[in-house]
Structure 1
């Protein structure tokens, strides 16, 4: 059964080189406005995948993202932001890109075409049945990602995906597919644009929802965040002040003692 890559279809705009800067910006913005609406249509699928990941992580599992090119980089960005934001170990959410870490900055030729390497990359982390693997590929045809999910399926590991074409081979491989169809790109085939934005939005939703489900947010605050700079220390002090209704000096002293917003708040209630 054939399927159409809408991400590869011709742009709705032509003669881009003849447009003014204002016209280019306005037209790109008009296309970008359609992305959240496309994501909205995928909410039921996103909900299922987030629930699966959260359930497995409660039982000691991890969340893996695998992808190539832009998709791989987006997964790494989301994974790398979980420890400082939610105070979780660096190896709880893991992003893997085809071609290895050097591919984060510079494309590695044909890395995405290797059907066996993703499983090798995952195996280096002793992946097991408690884990969840999400394959990210705008096209839905990336061999590296599909091959990885196929091996995960054989080994009873939960698989999801984020793709921007309907009915793709990747979506058919994943147990819990997420399809966000954004249509043709402003620059034909440049899936770092709308497709990349859609993938980033979905990743934000999955990781944030999972971390809230795992208890790493109190109220609406990042009480488990890492205090890795002065801005975050100041934010932590304000959180404690607001939660406990105490002075800045008291809040600062508590945070300095406990080095963690949650622990500072809990210690105050246990006095």
Structure 2
């Protein structure tokens, strides 16, 4: 059965469109993505809950994928330490073909069904951890192989796919199927499918980090203060929590190195 992400675009003669027509058409298609994600919310909730439960017990979250899917997993994983102040190895993104494939496609890397488990084994993945396979097509051999091996080692598995009824979803214990349909540019799953995957990844890690206690109210109290923008944001958070004027809040933040520690020290006074 042909994957819906591979079906012909609803639009034709793209090269004859004006720029305005191209942009309007892409935008029209993009509007359908959040609705597709909404339909998958029960599946997303089940996976997000399972991830948080494992992470509360000291487990890690791993992503595997190829091409755009792999890059999105790497991006989401790499953003967790600065956003939530967690260790670099708490959320790990692995792309078929290795880190070099983040910038340059590695031929046939996604077709190797054995390599994912080798890549995961380098991190000593174990039954405390969670593995999420990301595959727009729902049939990437690299992802299928990784999930299959993880299941055999009693590791909790989930997936994010953009077609229904594929082998990746069949193997994953917690499948998330966000059916985004044909792309504006036929088969270009970096578009709607990639957007959908990014939205789901945002949901998984943000909900997990909230449950792990890295958010207070609606603020990233454990974020890394790695540039002036974030220091200013942190200062504003301290001001809001303590009522201190800006200069004193900034000094307190500098002394303690995090919003959480600065506020806690103030509350002990």
Matched with 1:213 is 211
1:4 CA displacement? 3.5
Matched with 2:70 is 72
Structure 2: unaligned runs, 5 residues or longer: none
Matched with 2:255 is 257
Q: Secondary structure at the match of 2:181?
A: coil
TM-score, scaled relative to structure 2? 0.99
Matched with 2:173 is 175
Separation in structure 2 between the aligned mates of residue 160 and residue 62 of structure 1, nearest angstrom: 13
Question: Cα RMSD over matched residues?
Answer: 0.5
1:75-94 matches, cutoff 5 A:
75-94=73-92
TM-score, scaled relative to structure 1? 0.99
Question: Does the 8 Å contact 1:4/1:165 carry over to 2?
Answer: no
Q: Secondary structure at the match of 1:161?
A: strand
Separation in structure 1 between the aligned mates of residue 83 and residue 98 of structure 2, nearest angstrom: 24
1:147 CA displacement? 0.3
1:256 CA displacement? 1.0
Separation in structure 2 between the aligned mates of residue 251 and residue 179 of structure 1, nearest angstrom: 46
Q: Please list every run of at least 4 consecutive aligned residues from structure 1 whose deviation after the TM superposition is greater than 6 angstroms.
A: none
Separation in structure 2 between the aligned mates of residue 180 and residue 88 of structure 1, nearest angstrom: 28
Separation in structure 2 between the aligned mates of residue 39 and residue 87 of structure 1, nearest angstrom: 28
Q: Secondary structure at the match of 1:159?
A: strand
Matched with 2:49 is 51
Aligned length: 269
Separation in structure 2 between the aligned mates of residue 256 and residue 145 of structure 1, nearest angstrom: 44
Matched with 1:225 is 223
Matched with 1:185 is 183
Matched with 2:196 is 198
Q: Secondary structure at the match of 1:65?
A: strand
Separation in structure 1 between the aligned mates of residue 88 and residue 213 of structure 2, nearest angstrom: 17
